[in-house]
Amino acid sequence: MIGLKRGTVQVVAYHADWYDLFEQERRVLHQHIGHLVLDIQHVGSTAVPGLDAKPIIDIAVAVTSVVVIPQCKPLLCAFGYLDRGDAGTEGGYLFVKGSAPDVRTHHLHLVARDDPQWGNYLRLRDLLRADETLRTRYARLKNTLQQQFAEDRKGYTAAKQEFIRGLLRQPPRG
């Protein structure tokens, strides 16, 4: 249902179960780090009903400041997350969780709430949820790119960036 070998790309049809899997993980996160964070949101393509996606649950976690991140690290690692370090403006502080060695099921991005990335995660998700035409265009792009970048997830992600930046540059709708 979820999980993808590290570094590979496979785009699959949307699964309604992804929402439930996020909610289960959100509850666990709330138990372990809820006292340190401001918000926990399901982001990325698995958060958009009807959108084809890589079968990895993306989670954005807002903190008051990056100084909170060192307090979160041992708590997240204690229940199965791997510390992948600071990706800066390319994803915040990243943790991954897997179902087997080198099979990723969750990507967790710790981001300060005032960091533009936080707003971008939510805005992109909400734009795609609200507009079937954008969802269709994005799905088409992702399916094309998966063929080109099947063994190169970084290349796949980079190739999607211009489309994503274009969406985020659009003025907010009334």
| Beta-sheet strands, E only, within the chain | 4-5, 39-43, 57-63, 82-86, 93-100, 103-112
Name the pLDDT band for 137 (thresholds 50, 70, 90). very high
- Is residue 105 one of the residues assigned to a domain? yes
pLDDT score of 154 more than 70: yes
- Is residue 43 one of the residues assigned to a domain? yes
Q: Which CATH number does the domain housing residue 13 bear?
A: 3.30.460.10
Instruction: Please count the structural domains in the chain.
Output: 1
Q: What is the pLDDT of residues 92-113, one digit of tens each?
A: 999 999 999 899 999 999 999 9
- Is residue 165 one of the residues assigned to a domain? yes
Predicted model pTM:
0.94
Rounded Cα distance between 42 and 22, Å, is 6
- Is residue 174 one of the residues assigned to a domain? no
- pLDDT for 90 equals 82
Look up the domain containing 68 and give its range.
Answer: 4-169
